[in-house]
Homo-oligomer: A and B are copies of this chain.
Amino acid sequence: MSVITELRVHDVRFPTSRMLDGSDAMNPDPDYSAAYVELRTDAADGLSGHGFAFTIGRGNEVMTTAIATLADHVVGLDAEDFLADLGRAWRLLVHDSQLRWLGPEKGVMHMAAGAVLNALWDLRAKRAGLPLWRLLAELTPEEIVDVVDFRYLTDALTRDEALDILRAAEPGRAARIAELEATGYPAYTTTPGWLGYSDAKLVALAQQAAADGFTQIKLKVGADLDDDRRRFALARQAVGDSVEIAIDANQRWDVAEAIAWVTAMEDESIAWVEEPTSPDDILAHAAIARGIAPIPVATGEHVHNRVMFKQMLQAGSMEVLQLDATRVGGVNENIAILLLAANFGVRVCPHAGGVGLCEAVQHLSMFDFVAVSGTRERRSIEFVDHLHEHFIEPIDVRDGHYRVPRLPGAGTEMHAASLARYAYPDGAEWSTGADSGAAPDAGAAPDAGAAADTDPAADTGRSEAVHA
């Protein structure tokens, strides 16, 4: 037997705003960040579990505080027992009667629970000597549904219905594992499409994407209609007709504006319209979907839990479901979401990018192909070529496909040197470089006091803290 002895949190931030990587209509200057958690045990194997919640800079210290609050729930537990029953881990972390007031099951506190759950799954996979997708693909249908919380789902998906889906997929598992290992899982790329990029950069990157074998790219839209029309036309010219082009509005519009804008784009070749409005607005997404048909609506990166996804499926709000590895309650809740999508026959094309999201989410799509939906048809995982070098096993995308990860674990472990260098605010990257992450963005800047005094991160006086 071994015991979970420590929960260690790291505030890790990358100064991506200096390059305008990741800029879009709602996020002009993100600093890709991770509220990173590491679980250690006293086992002789020396293995530790790593997980994180992705953020875009300011407020990452709120996430690390929330994760630290969960230390009580895991430190001191028997690791074997706990890892063998990650449905119980979900209940402990998500159903704490006092903490759920801060959500329930949404926002900071829920993402914190997700980070800890993902770290537990990472540790379990490492102990099993398997990459997470493979560990999940080898669980029995009963073991899979045991980690899912069906509360609030039963009007759309019961435990028995989920078992039926999983059992139906069992016969082909081995063949699909072999297919995945041979050809990988399709990817699409957002790299050409950031709003902050010049037309020339957009065209060059779009041509490169087509040459690299991607069959879909995506453009950010929603700031200016004329720009969007021009950029879409340039991209179409650059990639030709055999590559699909999706657009992403990052929540810019109300219902009428979304329908009018997409209609004014005058191009039924649009692969999908992503996040046309508030991620909370199930009914507005459904109205927009009706208004822009046959162009599909895609959403999910900000959809905060399985109850919201369930309703979007019930209401016809989306044709493409974009789950995110760190927005919801970890692997457990993402399995619930994959099962819901399968039950409604909706395509899953995960959100990725940021830092570490590609590394984490590929495991979920591969598991879905092997053990849930059984298909890769018209499905792909977002790919953005940023910050992969900070991970122990960076994604391997070739010929427009994610190749299967091979190392044991969930893909979520960063190099210790990266954790140290990008630690906020004390790591070398921040203590010596331009401090673009400490102040609000220029458009919203108050006439500010002294930054050093009001810097929220200065309150905790640390970028790493141990809870043991």
Contact = CB atoms under 8 A, between A and B. Distances in A.
B468 A154 contact: no
A254 B302 contact: no
Interface in A298-355: 302, 304-305, 307-308, 310-311, 314-315
Interface string A99-124: 11111111111110000000000000
A172 interface: no
A91 interface: yes
A56 B254 contact: no
Contact of A444 (B58, B91, B255, B467): B91
A400 to B, nearest CB: 28
Interface stretch (A176-184, A367-375, A445-453): A445-453
Contacts of A446: 72-77, 92
B281 A456 contact: no
Contacts of A420: none
A26 interface: yes
Q: Which of A55, A106, A302, A308 has the most CB of B within 10 A?
A: A106
Contacts of A251: 104
Interface stretch (A27-35, A43-51, A427-435): A27-35
A302 B107 CA distance: 13
Q: Which of A28, A107, A154, A305 has the most CB of B within 10 A?
A: A107
A2 interface: no
Contacts of A55: 98, 101-102
B256 A155 contact: yes
A101 B151 CA distance: 26
Contact of A76 (B102, B153, B278, B448): B448
Interface string A222-266: 000000000000000000000000000001001110000000000
A439 interface: yes
Interface stretch (A136-144, A282-290, A380-388): A282-290
Nearest to A93: B444
A120 B91 CA distance: 38
A263 B356 CA distance: 49
A202 B354 CA distance: 54
A283 B76 contact: no
Contacts of A454: 71-72, 75-76, 467-468
Contacts of A102: 55, 59, 62-63, 107-108, 111
Contacts of A310: 281
A106 B106 CA distance: 7
Contacts of A29: 97-98
A190 interface: no
A287 B77 CA distance: 41
A69 B448 contact: no
Given A454-B71, A459-B460, A284 B101 contact: no
Contacts of A74: 446
Contacts of A95: 444
A161 interface: no
17 contacts: A27-B97, A27-B101, A55-B98, A55-B102, A61-B69, A71-B456, A72-B454, A77-B446, A104-B251, A105-B278, A107-B107, A107-B109, A152-B280, A278-B307, A283-B311, A456-B467, A459-B465
A333 B111 CA distance: 24
Shortest beta-carbon contacts, A-B, top 7: A107-B107, A76-B449, A108-B108, A58-B98, A57-B98, A69-B456, A155-B255
Interface string A13-51: 000000000000011111100000000000000000000
Interface string A57-85: 11101110110110111111110000000
Contact of A449 (B91, B96, B278, B468): B468
A294 interface: no
A96 B447 CA distance: 15
A160 B196 CA distance: 35
